[in-house]
């Protein structure tokens, strides 16, 4: 069967439990039509780049599925009709990647406080790229500036 990845955005006024309930509901719709939900991730309440239906935030959820196209079409149809779902995106993939999605990996890095390869930014010392500044003189006397 084909492999798919889905991202759903639900309204901001839902609770986290209600948003996760939507994920379970649409997973059962997919299973009832002969599909299989491989993995789900609840990404949480996030601020969007622009308003959708007068909402600035939304509950994001991610699915990895293994399902026939008819099951995916039925699930998407029901998602689009549901009043709590604002957006749905489905992508057909050749293979599911192992481990958490990129969004969850980013959250894990943020939780650990890992700052990557920034190195020590403590004492910078002399910055040789600025050159010699010489004597600048009195800055109070700058002359007539129009």
pLDDT digits (tens, 9 = 90+) for 64-117: 999 999 999 999 999 999 999 999 999 998 887 787 777 777 766 666 655 555
pLDDT digits (tens, 9 = 90+) for 125-143: 666 666 666 666 666 666 6
Predicted model pTM: 0.69
Contact status, residue 23 vs residue 8, Cβ threshold 8 Å: yes
Distance CA 66, CA 30 (A): 9
Place of tokens 């622009």: 50
pLDDT digits (tens, 9 = 90+) for 4-36: 999 999 999 999 899 989 999 999 999 999 999
Q: What is the pLDDT of residue 25?
A: 92
Contact status, residue 96 vs residue 36, Cβ threshold 8 Å: no
In sign, the C-alpha dihedral spanning 17, 74, 9, 35 is positive
Tell me the percentage of the chain whose pLDDT exceeds 90.
45
């Amino acid at each position: 069967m084909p492999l798919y990845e889905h991202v759903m955005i639900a309204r901001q006024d839902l609770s986290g439990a209600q948003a996760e309930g939507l994920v379970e509901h649409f997973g059962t719709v997919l299973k009832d039509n002969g599909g299989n939900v491989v993995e789900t991730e609840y990404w949480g309440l996030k601020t969007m780049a622009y308003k959708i239906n007068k909402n600035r935030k939304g509950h994001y959820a991610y699915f990895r599925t293994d399902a026939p196209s008819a099951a995916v079409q039925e699930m998407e149809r029901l998602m689009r009709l549901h009043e709590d779902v604002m957006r749905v995106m489905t992508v057909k993939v050749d293979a599911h990647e192992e481990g958490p999605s990129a969004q969850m990996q980013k959250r894990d890095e943020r939780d650990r406080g890992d700052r990557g390869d920034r190195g020590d930014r403590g004492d910078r010392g002399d910055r040789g790229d600025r050159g010699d500044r010489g004597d600048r003189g009195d800055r109070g006397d700058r002359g007539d500036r129009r």
